[in-house]
Chain A
Amino acid sequence: MHALHVSDLTVSYDKKPVLEDVSFSIPNGSITGIIGPNGAGKSTLIKSILRLIPSITGEVKVYGEPYAQQKKLIGYVPQRSEVDWDFPTNALDVVLMGRYRHIGIFKRAKKAEITWARECLQKVGMLGYAERQISQLSGGQQQRVFLARALAQDAMVYFMDEPFSGVDAATERAIIQLMKNWKQEGKTVIVVHHDLQTVEDYFDHVLLLNKQLVDFGETPKVFTLENLEKTYGGKIAFLQKTPSTEKEHHAHGHLAFESE
């Protein structure tokens, strides 16, 4: 059973095409990395799947049913820079936002919801910061609050946009742990990612994107030098050994790509 099925997705901003005919099917219980250079359309891909921006063509199915009917199963961790962290609210409040659908319109959060939100904060090691104003949190802590909100939502398919960018090592580990837990629970995780060195460690599936889909599939098959060159247009610099082209384990630690 596929957790997510996308066919012929085309998106443009002001008539300038950003995504062209993207199709893929992500198996249930997998962790997929969406990889591509800056401006490749990674965020756009996620947002158009989630119907946050309009698409010209394209069909999205979640567990075989149209997206619109399955919205409740979707969790989302936006790029941290997308919200105003000076907004007057605290960490617990942000996590509770993940429960708004469960709480329902008109109603206020009940004790049970608040207890649940606190548990989610605890799971990401942030319980001690529940009442802290969000602007007083570090980048990593803010990211954890977002994670806790996604946890609170209790979804089946999670989308995360660059969760590792600008976070400390402990937060990075916490995110990995969370992704693995989700996978064990049979949930599906889709992550926009830009650090090539960690791709093979973190993801069992890889989606290479640069305006068009370059390749999608299991990491060892897809994360190859040839594919990466296609994706990054030859801007890859290999300092030592290449990824899956070499069979040797841990050979991937010296791969970098030059951004313009």
Chain B
Amino acid sequence: MTYTLWIVITGCLVGLTCGVTGSLLVLRKMSMIADAISHTVLLGIVGAFFVTQSLNGVPMLIGAAIVGLLTAFFVETLHRSGVQSDAAIGVVFTSLFALGVVLIAFIGDQVHLDVQHALMGEIAFVPWNTLQIGGVSLGPVAVWMLGGVLFVNLLLIAIFYKEIKLSTFDPQYALLIGVPVVFIHYLLMIMVSLSTVASFDSVGAILVVAMLIVPGSTAYLLTDKFFTMLWMSGAIGILSALIGYGSAVYFNVSIAGSMASSTGILFILAFLFSPRHGLVFKRLRTT
């Protein structure tokens, strides 16, 4: 398969995985935690490298899941002991991220892992890092990782669909009728961490936040149904990837950057023209 096609597939998988997973964060009003986790997973990746001495996919995912959970746990603990939740997030993520940055220095030149790369990603390099089994190339590692994470996330959402929905809408009632609310919370944190790590190579820690939050926020303006919101976020993620890739080639700019910009443009369009929540129609209705 060609180089271009792999990039497009990777971009679409990032958009789909982050879009669906992130829409849950949007509904739970936890967008800031996406920002936090997207930075702290760096520590997970570095940690995984120290343990396994390689930048292999599965240990990286495990490392990220652990650090993602820790992030959520520390934030929760600080918040419970009286720190404002935005301050708690700020303290936890900068500390863990800083630790990651320091530890990267010890890895040095052994592998290609630097802060610049972690922050910005480079989707154009993705096709070169392929999964080799018995000398046969099976396509880019990123595609396998994203596909795997997408599968796991969709499976978890399918299994706990009702429980996720209720604990998002009315957590106290959920607790009352025996829904494992805390478990669902940390499950979602794992899903966000996995999505982030799988998207790291392609879009980096900063733009992955856009891919997580913006499609969900856009879908929120366009639908009044929970299920529709989930798939629509994924679809908007894919659409952003396609538009982003097209315009990146056309204008000769960063692919990841223009993917993230596309999510922003789609959001603004929805913000203005959404039939029910859009600014324009609201104006028309009130005048």
Contacts and interface: CB of A to CB of B under 8 A. Distances in A.
Contacts of A14: 82
A133 B170 CA distance: 16
A101 B178 contact: yes
B224 A88 contact: yes
Contact of A89 (B29, B165, B176, B179): B165
A89 B162 contact: no
B275 to A, nearest CB: 13
Interface string A30-52: 00000000000000000100111
B159 A89 contact: no
Interface in B185-230: 220, 223-226, 228-229
B176 A106 contact: no
Given A83-B170, A97-B173, A88 B220 contact: yes
A48 to B, nearest CB: 12
Contacts of A135: 224
A84 B173 contact: no
Given A71-B178, A93-B226, A100-B162, A87 B168 contact: yes
Contact of A78 (B82, B163, B170): B170
Majority secondary structure of chain B interface residues (helix, strand, loop or mixed): helix
B175 interface: yes
Contacts of A103: 162
A196 interface: no
A82 B172 contact: yes
B177 A83 contact: no
A88 B222 CA distance: 10
Interface in A116-141: 133, 135
A90 interface: yes
Contact of B228 (A82, A84, A88, A108): A88
Contacts of A51: 175
Interface in B134-181: 159-163, 165-166, 168-170, 172-173, 175-179
Interface in A53-82: 71, 74, 76, 78, 82
A153 interface: yes
A105 interface: yes
A90 B224 contact: yes
Interface in B19-35: 27, 29
Most chain A beta carbons < 10 A, residue from B166, B176, B223, B225: B176
A50 B176 contact: yes
Contacts of A74: 176
Contacts of A84: 29, 169
Interface in A148-189: 149, 153
The 6 A-B pairs of least Cβ separation, nearest first, read A133-B224, A87-B169, A83-B170, A101-B177, A52-B172, A88-B224
Interface of A: 14, 47, 50-52, 71, 74, 76, 78, 82-84, 87-90, 93-94, 97-98, 100-101, 103, 105-106, 108, 133, 135, 149, 153
Given A14-B82, A74-B176, 4 more contacts: A82-B172, A105-B160, A108-B162, A153-B177
